[in-house]
A and B are shown apart, each in its own frame.
Chain A
Amino acid sequence: MKLILILGVAFLLLFLLERGYRRFWSKDLHVEVHFQSYPAREGEEACLTEIIENRKILPIPMLQVEFLLDRSLGIDEEENASLSDRLYKRDVFSVSFYQKISRTIPLKCRKRGYYHIGEANLVARGLQMEKNYYKDLPQDTFLYVYPGDVPIDRLKLPMHRLGGLLEGRRGMVEDPFAFAGMREYDGTDPMNRINWKASARSGNLMVNLQNSTYSPRVACFVDVEDVTMWKHMEIHEEAIRLAASLLRSVLKKGIPASLYTNGEDLLSGSLVQVPEGSGRGQTEKVNRSLSRLDLNAKKRPGPIYSELLKAEQELTGTQQVVVLITENQSRELQDTVRKMAVKGASFLWLGVFYKKEGWSSPNIHGVDYLKWEVEHEG
């Protein structure tokens, strides 16, 4: 009897302790995986933080945290990750009672995008290291990786062309309330323009300059439709980078800008379009929208000329400069642009092509053309 009781008590205790651990190991255990709070840019580094909090007296000798990341977020080779269609990250912790562990993992933002982690899987070993216990914890963290910048020396040319178009739209009518500066009097200036106080100070006759009543605005159309059966990802990515760089520069100068694309938003599924606006908030909206532009959407993008036609009245009625970034040279697109140019719209057509591809600019009056070459990554 004694022996039976001893054996019975021993096995019962082992069973109960293991069951107790199985029941309570995940209680008051908080696991949080979050990206850094601010967005990153393509090519920069970001960081991911894992926080494990064990707010109870029961320690967890072995805890494994796993989650999925997009392949485009690079991790150091030494970090614990395996790469297939996605990046599987796995980390092991040993958590004592009432302990918090924080681990920061550096990430390389290889590609623009919207990255989200929705779930973390926990695996704990039993007290005797025999059994595994599983739990899935929902997470909700995201990281925006904005499109990278185009090199400044390359961006100068399209910016100059754009600047030229914007200046060209400037009308002859001056705004008497918009003071633009002063210059020395020349014989052709009217007397009512002379600034007598400034003239007295400087000793020479000085006249006021007024700004134009023209308010420059830019509408950027980005075409991500594939013109052949092949997907030209590098061209589309470069087009997005170019649009982002142009719009950032334009918005920095205080010029209101809008964005239209025929690509789908990763989250909402609707077309990526940003109504006109200006300022820092608009820059953020443009960056985020372009980050979420999904080039792998199941639905094939529609032709960009249909977006142009939708906005035709606004583009031709107001004095906007339209920047069209596209690989497309179709007749329908050319006809649409020709029609709108005739009605008064100003176009800067940026043709994005691979380096070795030939391109002949469509000959449309009132449209400025520029070829933008992209390296083929093979």
Chain B
Amino acid sequence: MKDKELRIYEILYGGICMSLPIFLCPGELSLWRLLLPMAAAFCLYEAALRRKSILLYLLIWIAFGAAAFEAGRDLIEKACLTGSIIFGGAACFYGRWKGDYLFLGGPALPMLAVPAVAYLIAHVEKMDYIKGRVCIFAALVILLQIFCGNRERLLIYLKENETLHRFPKRRLEKRNRHVMIFFGVFLTLAMIVAYWKAPADPEFTKSENTPDMTVTMEQFEPSGGMEMDLSGLLGDDEVYEPPAWVTALENILYYVVTIALIAGFIALVTLTVCKLLKAYRNRYEKWTPEKKTEGGDVTESLAPPKIVLPKFFRKKTASEQIRKYYRKWVMGGPGQTPGNTSTPEEAEETAGVADTKAHQIYEKARYSRQECTAEEVVYLKKRN
């Protein structure tokens, strides 16, 4: 079976390509209408990859085609959605027939020609709403091409060398993943900044010598009074209303996906911040480089020696915790408050508390160089 990560990239690529027509449709972009080609790409790809019967494949294709037709708000949207499903289904079928199960050969840089042409046309026809969308499409294609290409090369390398003794397969995959995450985030940020800071596109102005090619409708009015009513075909005045269930489903899906995205984003940010803080604290908690043995290799950190953090940021050592609990225990005793200059024995006597073991643990934590154990901390904590 194909690699999971590779499948995800290929499905995403197929979904994005199939979403391109709806990207170019005028009007507000609907999440439901974007997810439909994605869902279709997933189902068609999996059906092709798992070599399910052609009948099932056709059924899925037709079902999504019908759903796409129903989901379109107007004729143009219907045409775009349905056309993208038909095209996507044919492309996946072709991939299955070829044996590589790739949507049009997989993510490739020549696909960037499509958004380039679309951008040019949008600029000439002054359809500014398309420009941003094709930029997003181009950025996604670049990212997918990088991830997909990297994953393929990594898998080939792993397969060639998996028989090697003590081959660090997991470590290699993990490090490669980290590198790709870094690549992805860095490139995305750079492309966002580039888009934001890019100068305005040059405007095309009419030359004086250019003949006036403006075409007006009057030129096409037939003589003899024959008039054709084209409004039904063009759909200028009529807006198609989708069925009520489609609208309701769209609303539900919209809220669900929005909530999921927001929750996912918050979780991701929280997790990242927690990991960073933990890594930062761990780095300064270790006195000596930690030696680990993995598969017969001994690994150790060469990070610069730690700097002592302020108490607030630092995790308390066992000795410090013992001292804190001992103080609480003594101060909470029934007797009088012991003086600052009292010895531990005097303080206990004054405070009216007595526990030989607690006393010994405290003396070990306070006066000796030995490390105290977690059990000793728990013992003193229970005294409180």
Contact = CB atoms under 8 A, between A and B. Distances in A.
Given A6-B138, A59-B179, A102-B297, A1 B198 contact: yes
A69 to B, nearest CB: 15
A227 B265 CA distance: 85
A10 B297 contact: no
Contacts of A319: none
Nearest to A54: B302
Contacts of A202: none
B199 interface: yes
A304 B257 CA distance: 93
A127 interface: yes
Interface in B288-325: 289, 296-304
B298 A5 contact: no
B167 interface: yes
B166 interface: yes
B195 A6 contact: yes
Nearest to B116: A3
Interface string A47-79: 000000111000101100000000000000011
Nearest to A55: B302
A182 interface: no
Interface in A90-109: 90-94, 96, 98-104
Nearest to B120: A3
Interface residues of B, number: 51
Contact of A94 (B119, B168, B183, B186): B168
A53 B299 CA distance: 10
A94 B157 CA distance: 13
Contacts of A128: 146, 149-150, 153, 183
A53 B198 contact: no
Interface in B97-147: 112, 115-116, 119, 131, 134-135, 138-139, 142, 146
B142 A7 contact: yes
A2 interface: yes
Q: How large is the interface on A (under 10, 10 to 19, 20 to 34, 35 or more residues)?
A: 35 or more
A125 interface: yes
Nearest to A103: B297
Given A6-B139, A6-B195, A92-B164, A13 B298 contact: no
B369 interface: no
Contact of B201 (A2, A98, A102): A2
Contacts of B286: none
B190 A13 contact: yes
Interface string B180-210: 0001001100110111001111100000000
A137 interface: no
Contact of A78 (B165, B187, B195, B198): B165
Interface of A: 1-3, 5-10, 13-14, 17, 53-55, 59, 61-62, 78-80, 90-94, 96, 98-104, 125, 127-130
Interface of B: 112, 115-116, 119, 131, 134-135, 138-139, 142, 146, 149-150, 153-154, 157, 161, 164-168, 171-172, 175-176, 178-179, 183, 186-187, 190-191, 193-195, 198-202, 289, 296-304
